[in-house]
Structure 1
Amino acid sequence: MDGGRHESCLSLFFFCHLKFQYIKRASGGVSKTLTNQSLIIDRVEELAMALIKAMQLLVTVVFLGWLMIWIMMPTNTYRNTWSTPLRTKTDSTYFGRQGTNILIYTFPILFISVIGCIYLHLVKRNDNNCQRYRSISSTRLVWKRPVLVNWPLGIVSGIELTLCLMFLGLLIWFYSEYLVTGFSRLQSSDGEKLWQEKLDSAAIRLGLVGDLCCAFLFFPVTRGSSILPLLGLTSESSIRYHVWLGHITLAVFTAHGVCYIIYWAVTHQIDEMVKWANADVANVAGEIALLAGLLMWATTIPRIRRKMFELFFYTHQLYVVFLIFYMMHVGTAHFCMILPGVYLFMIDRFLRLLQSRNNARLVSARLLPSEAIELNFAKSPRLTFEPLSTVFINVPGVSPLQWHPFTVTSSSNLEPERLSLIIKKEGSWTQKLYATLATPHVQDRLHVKVEGPYGPMSKHFLRYDSLVLVSGGSGITPFISIIRELVYRRTTLNVPIPAVFLISAFKTSADLTMLDLLLPISGNVSDLSRLDLQIEAFVTREKPKSSDGAQNSIRSVWFKPFPSDTPLAPVLGPNGWLWLGAVVASSFVAFLLLIGILQRFYIYPIDHNTDEIYSYAARSTLNLLFICICIMVTASLAVMVNKEGNSREAKQIQSVDVPTPTTSPSSWLHNGDRELESLPQESLVKATKVHFGGRPPLKKMLLECDGSNVGVMASGPRGLRHEVADICSSGLADNLHFESISFSW
């Protein structure tokens, strides 16, 4: 029987071979055609990768050139050899001196932003089609290792410390070189001592150092910009860079103002403090800007910011006053030195405003015995995000102005039509929100506005062989999104994933119910047992006791859909990076056209580019007006073009949305809890070990981790994060690689 089967197969093979040869001769060869198609696909992929690398090189070269301008600005070489000829060639009747500064300081960064948008679009598409992630090189891992674990700066890696020292070195070089070149040209005049002239020179140079700091100040808080992702950063992790730059900026500007007050006092010109020059530096405008900056600075003291967050939040809106009067103080030409960061921030801020105009479709909420809340929003499948992303939410019924960031706990792959987040009842805002949700009459609807999500561009945690996730209290929330993403990759894609060791510390046993949130409320997780998941939960303030099902129950609240509520959707559509690049480019070109027309046909006939007749304040107001008009028009058009697709999907989602119960919330409460009593819940219980009466022995547990490439993430109180970072940077275990994901800015 076996011999006949092999003979038949052999005959079939020869028949197919002869048939293939006939077809090959007739059509020129199928195999040749398939080979050519394969070669074409490979060549297209090679060209795409070559394009990505070329854009990386181009962005790097342009950025280094822009940085070189700042480095050389205090030198005589820049002043005599570079600046003067360039100003002569660019001093046109359309832009004047402002055109030179736009070309040198503004255009390079906006060019990088546009190229970065194209680059990120290509990288995003490539990552979506890629199932494997490259491991991190050993050199990069060494640079990412924490070298400082200290309260003033937090957890600082080797590369962060190096860049900080380089920036401080740039500031010192910038100021010292300015002083050397400035003092060398000073001569004592009649009735004025040399030290007074040096004080005047030192004061104005301090203002230039402040300009350098301001040039970088707004990049970390531009959530949707392409600049941060190009550097592998997120807006949430970059907040501390904004804090550091803000302290330095205001300290320098304060010294600048104090030095001038002293100078005016010793030279009997104290009346300069109340002068507003028409076509020169306006002292009063500078004082108003400095006062606004000092008020913002005062409320950033940690104790004030934590205890009186509303005061901090409202006072920080004075940045608008600071920027307007800063522009009037120095003039539009000088303001172009810091314009790139401000310009990108204004685009981002307006897009956030457009996104937050609609009420988000809140589907349900889960209230935990630990007084934590899980909010579940309907979202468009086109809205994709990576684990560890954050959203900002506003609940007008609690506070009409306050926006708070929270970590997204859902996976856009596992739950394509849901976005979830967890809120722990801690401050006054969260206490009011919990009380609102706990009130029976709010089960019809809750108005919520959302901005985001914002987050990393790639799943960097997949590069590790295993993951150790250390959390304290509500710090478990960023890890929920990671575990859900791993569930999707294992159950749906069936690809290798890292093993996960979750170490969680809770104060009370009621907090253990936060582990139930590892499972989505939709119940579409088939089986957690396919994950190599181990959970060690520690209850630090209680001893073992008999469980009380009523006490540890989770309450689900469902909300009725309203026509005015819309599912969360990408404000610029699925190709958001390309649209953002188009908005940046088109708005800036429109701005150039408007100021060119204004300068040529209105301002130039008056001052003939002398900068001595036309008012700084009027020019600044017109420039600011044109910037706002160009950004508002182009961004609004981009949002309107993509709004049709979002509206179409919103109607589809609402038509199949879960109906709100019309009988009583209790029936839905029962059904919502029953979803957890299933196979996923059982697999979660099997993977969990609970310990009472002590903190986790982190050092012992981390040093016992096996594997050559172990990623360690810590989230929670500052002390816990610092302890984990200390262990990973101690050198006792070379296989531990710390990943800082602090959200406690």
Structure 2
Amino acid sequence: MDPQRSPPPRGGGGNRGIRAAIAAAAAAVFGGYLVLLVGMPTNAYKQTWLPLLRAKTTTTYFGTNQGATFMVFTSPLLLIALLGCVYLHLGKKSEINNIKSGDGENRLDIWKRPMIIKGLGIVSRIELAFFLMFIALLIWNLATYFHNDFAKITPKSAAQSGHKVWEAKLDMAALRLGLVGNIALTFLFFPVTRGSSVLQFLGLTSEASVKYHIWLGHIVMTFFTAHGLAYVIFWASTHQLSQMVKWENTGVSNLAGELSLLAGLILWATTFPRIRRRMFELFFYTHHLYTLFLFFFVLHVGTSFASIMLPGFFLFLIDRYLRFLQSRQHVRLVSARVLPCHTVELNFSKSKGVNYTPTSIMFINVPSISKLQWHPFTISSSSSLESDKISVIIKGEGKWTTKLNDLIASPTPPDRLDVSIEGPYGPASTDFLRHDLLVMVGGGSGVTPFISIIRELIHTAETLNRRSPRILLIAAFRNSADLTILDLILPISGAPPHLSNLSLQVEAYVTREKQPAPEKKAARAVWFKPAPLDAPLTATLGDDNNWLWLAAIVAASFVIYLVSIGTLTRFYIYPVDRNSNKVYASAARGALHVAFVCAAVAAAATAGFVWNKARSAATQIRSMEGATPTASPESCCYNADREMESLPQQSLAESVNVHYGERPDLKRYLFERKESSVGVLVCGPKKLRHQVANICSSGLAENLHFESISFSW
């Protein structure tokens, strides 16, 4: 656990003690699970532990193998997710503020220093250590399987099966490659479960964990591709290519496995950076092939083996369905600020109970542009400073964002715009207040994540009268028109009358122009009319007890699934197996399990969502009424000089130094800092992030604490 991620307690140590006990219990459960993974390829597990376990868990409800798999592979990870929900709920109750203060040096700082590893990008020593341990786990499993299995293959045993020794070994190696690939598949969906209690329990966020999903995805597809190719070579060498089209009634179905692998290969081919960045739509749409990949995977290996990877996908499925329910509601778009640099800030109405931390993100869908595409954007507002609005800044750089910018920035923008939102998602807490100075380095639109931090610190300094770190924002832009992004540091409304309590210095660099532009175009505000069906953004599972609701949905859906599939097995499948000469088809059994998992998740999640929707209906109505703009509903464009040219903007302008025709000397800015603790945040192009990471990891300045903010979608 990352001690800096946990919010500080308020009074007493009751919650602290309970949370410590929960963390210890979760660590013990996961430790036991890891022991199981380490022991799985050994002879002791196969010859002693597994037969004993199956003997004690064999029932007419789950059969010979399913009960054992549920007990030792599925339940532990789901239990950790439930413990994480309770842990986060208790932390939320004892939370003072979104930003956590801390004193003294963090003993883990040396492990958090960045490293640049080719193929992995910027990683901390902690991330690298866990990655290497995971690779070691896979190598251990594969090597142990090969050692134990190959020792049993002799010329005599191979001849009895009609094969050569190398063919028998290839057959066994192909099987074991698939088994080891399933271990990586077990963890594949955890990093992309956006509302995951497991990630936040570990102090992680979904956007920061996407890189883990990418690593795991490459590992999974490497093992499964090797698994498939090895079998094809084996069948070709033994003149059994007809096996490729066989769909056995029981056991492993070869054709289902090939269909699963084909879907996975198409998906995998579009994930490489060059394709993903140039053809994002292709990447986005083909990524939905994961449904076919998993469906045919279950039909290929059977329900018992597929249950090993069930927990991660089960939690992802719950999260995905809750996001689907949240996205059915159109969120009210209140206003927009249009900048001359082809950038817009969108301001949405939200319930006052929706709280989020700086650097949080949300996903946006605009049906008039694309009904299927969802794009993530960093939230630029502060839930403390703007209690009834939530904002994002969107720069027109791709096809989707360009269309959105053109639509809103047109001379006659639409009166209203249908927009759906998923989120917000972000860290449970942040720790910016522990630093004496925050150095934020951004390139282009990479400045936008820092706006939410600055706004939060404005609230901290002006309203709560708490110590806040000094801020140095180093921003690099291509053109002088991009400087107008800095005007968005202050919200369109609700800014404090002065910024005297916040020490903010902005060093802006315009790299492609030698002198200021002749005239600076001003930002333009656009107001949108309300629609009866639009509503403020609300939390998916309520504002106060959302983690407990998530725990209830996880537990209820899994129980519904177990009861349903157990009843079906006992009173339908078991009598067929017992009273007829035919065994119930494995594919049909797998399809039923998939159907019951989906039905259980839909039932429990819908009940929880509808219940919380009914509870918050009155609050939503009041929030929408209170968020009605003061401008005339007939007015489309509102040049509100009460905000655009206000005293806070003048104070901000005095804090900005603009440099033309040069790039920032980042080494000078960072190495000259003498403060005891300097937080260094960077967001922008890969080259910029690597440059800052190299400076912070050089060891020449012990007071620099690095954090990269980036997306890998």
Q: What's the TM-score once normalised by structure 1's chain length?
A: 0.91
Give the Cα separation in 2 of the matches to 1:448 and 1:193: 63
Does structure 1 residue 420 correspond to structure 2 residue 391? yes
- Structure 2 residue aligned with 1:156: 123
Give the partner amino acid of 2:217. Answer: G
**Structure 2 gaps, min length 5:** 1-8
Give the Cα separation in 1 of the matches to 2:101 and 2:402: 42
CA deviation vs aligned residue, 1:81-114 (integer Å, no higher than 9, x gap): 2111011000111111111101111101111101
Q: Post-superposition shift, 1:132? A: 5.4
- Structure 1 residue aligned with 2:605: 635
- Structure 2 residue aligned with 1:486: 457
Is contact 2:99–2:429 with CA below 8 Å preserved after alignment? Answer: no
- Structure 1 residue aligned with 2:30: 63
**Structure 1 gaps, min length 5:** 1-41
Structure-to-structure mapping, 1:563-578, within 5 angstroms: 563-574=532-543, 575-578=545-548
CA deviation vs aligned residue, 1:646-668 (integer Å, no higher than 9, x gap): 321221122223347558647x5
Does structure 1 residue 291 correspond to structure 2 residue 262? yes
- Structure 1 residue aligned with 2:139: 172
Is contact 1:561–1:659 with CA below 8 Å preserved after alignment? Answer: no
Moved more, 655-664 or 385-394: 655-664
CA deviation vs aligned residue, 1:386-413 (integer Å, no higher than 9, x gap): 0000000001111111100000000111
Is contact 1:560–1:660 with CA below 8 Å preserved after alignment? Answer: no
Q: Post-superposition shift, 1:153? A: 1.3
Give the Cα separation in 2 of the matches to 1:162 and 1:79: 30
- Structure 2 residue aligned with 1:181: 148
Q: Post-superposition shift, 1:43? A: 12
Q: Post-superposition shift, 1:135? A: 3.9
Is contact 2:322–2:540 with CA below 8 Å preserved after alignment? Answer: yes
Is contact 1:351–1:571 with CA below 8 Å preserved after alignment? Answer: yes
Give the Cα separation in 2 of the matches to 1:546 and 1:129: 42
Q: Tell me: CA distance 1:350–1:413, structure 2 relative to 1, closer, same or farther (3 Å).
A: same
Is contact 1:519–1:525 with CA below 8 Å preserved after alignment? Answer: no
Q: Post-superposition shift, 1:51? A: 0.5
Give the Cα separation in 1 of the matches to 2:214 and 2:138: 17
Does structure 1 residue 277 correspond to structure 2 residue 248? yes
Q: Tell me: CA distance 1:149–1:691, structure 2 relative to 1, closer, same or farther (3 Å).
A: farther
Give the Cα separation in 2 of the matches to 1:606 and 1:710: 69
Of 641, 648, 656 in structure 1, the residue corresponding to residue 626 of structure 2 is 656
Give the partner amino acid of 1:360. Answer: V
Give the Cα separation in 2 of the matches to 1:448 and 1:729: 42
- Structure 2 residue aligned with 1:348: 319
Structure-to-structure mapping, 1:228-243, within 5 angstroms: 228-243=199-214
Give the partner amino acid of 2:570. Answer: R
Number of aligned residues: 699
- Structure 2 residue aligned with 1:247: 218
Q: Post-superposition shift, 1:526? A: 2.5
Structure-to-structure mapping, 1:323-722, within 5 angstroms: 323-545=294-516, 547-549=518-520, 552-574=521-543, 575-608=545-578, 613-659=583-629, 661-662=631-632, 665=635, 668-671=637-640, 673-722=641-690
Of 171, 196, 208 in structure 1, the residue corresponding to residue 179 of structure 2 is 208
Q: Tell me: CA distance 1:132–1:630, structure 2 relative to 1, closer, same or farther (3 Å).
A: closer
Moved more, 690-699 or 647-656: 647-656
CA deviation vs aligned residue, 1:416-459 (integer Å, no higher than 9, x gap): 10000001110111111111112344431001110001111111
Moved more, 331-340 or 139-148: 139-148
CA deviation vs aligned residue, 1:340-384 (integer Å, no higher than 9, x gap): 001000000000000000111100111101111100000001111
What's the C-alpha RMSD, in Å, of the aligned pairs?
A: 1.8
Of 247, 250, 259 in structure 1, the residue corresponding to residue 230 of structure 2 is 259
CA deviation vs aligned residue, 1:689-735 (integer Å, no higher than 9, x gap): 11111000111111011211111000011111110000000111111
Secondary structure, aligned partner of 2:108: helix
- Structure 2 residue aligned with 1:122: 90
Give the Cα separation in 2 of the matches to 1:448 and 1:662: 22
Is contact 2:511–2:662 with CA below 8 Å preserved after alignment? Answer: yes
Q: Post-superposition shift, 1:196? A: 1.0
State the percentage of identical aligned residues.
53
Moved more, 621-630 or 522-531: 522-531
Give the partner amino acid of 2:710. Answer: S
Give the Cα separation in 2 of the matches to 1:117 and 1:479: 29
Q: Tell me: CA distance 1:511–1:338, structure 2 relative to 1, closer, same or farther (3 Å).
A: same
Give the Cα separation in 2 of the matches to 1:601 and 1:403: 43
Give the Cα separation in 1 of the matches to 2:662 and 2:506: 16
Does structure 1 residue 46 correspond to structure 2 residue 10? no
Q: What's the TM-score once normalised by structure 2's chain length?
A: 0.95
Does structure 1 residue 81 correspond to structure 2 residue 42? no
CA deviation vs aligned residue, 1:542-596 (integer Å, no higher than 9, x gap): 12236514xx210111000111001101010011111000000011011111111
Q: Tell me: CA distance 1:720–1:336, structure 2 relative to 1, closer, same or farther (3 Å).
A: same
Secondary structure, aligned partner of 1:375: strand
Secondary structure, aligned partner of 2:81: helix
Is contact 1:94–1:596 with CA below 8 Å preserved after alignment? Answer: yes
Give the Cα separation in 2 of the matches to 1:123 and 1:199: 52
4+ long deviations beyond 3 Å: 128-132, 135-138, 440-443, 608-612, 659-666
Q: Post-superposition shift, 1:461? A: 1.9
Give the Cα separation in 1 of the matches to 2:136 and 2:596: 37
Secondary structure, aligned partner of 1:739: strand
Is contact 1:523–1:676 with CA below 8 Å preserved after alignment? Answer: no
Give the Cα separation in 2 of the matches to 1:276 and 1:131: 57
Secondary structure, aligned partner of 1:443: coil
Is contact 1:131–1:495 with CA below 8 Å preserved after alignment? Answer: no
Is contact 1:147–1:156 with CA below 8 Å preserved after alignment? Answer: yes
Secondary structure, aligned partner of 1:530: coil
Secondary structure, aligned partner of 1:456: coil
CA deviation vs aligned residue, 1:442-485 (integer Å, no higher than 9, x gap): 43100111000111111122222211000010001100000000
Give the Cα separation in 1 of the matches to 2:593 and 2:472: 55
- Structure 1 residue aligned with 2:6: none
Secondary structure, aligned partner of 2:471: strand
Q: Tell me: CA distance 1:545–1:129, structure 2 relative to 1, closer, same or farther (3 Å).
A: closer
Give the Cα separation in 2 of the matches to 1:184 and 1:605: 41
Is contact 2:433–2:467 with CA below 8 Å preserved after alignment? Answer: no
Q: Post-superposition shift, 1:195? A: 1.3
Q: Post-superposition shift, 1:744? A: 4.2
Q: Post-superposition shift, 1:44? A: 8.3
Give the Cα separation in 2 of the matches to 1:709 and 1:631: 46
Is contact 1:360–1:567 with CA below 8 Å preserved after alignment? Answer: yes
Q: Post-superposition shift, 1:136? A: 6.8
Give the Cα separation in 2 of the matches to 1:641 and 1:409: 30
Is contact 1:93–1:609 with CA below 8 Å preserved after alignment? Answer: no
Which structure's residues are more often helix, by fraction?
Answer: 1
Secondary structure, aligned partner of 1:148: strand
Is contact 2:388–2:627 with CA below 8 Å preserved after alignment? Answer: no
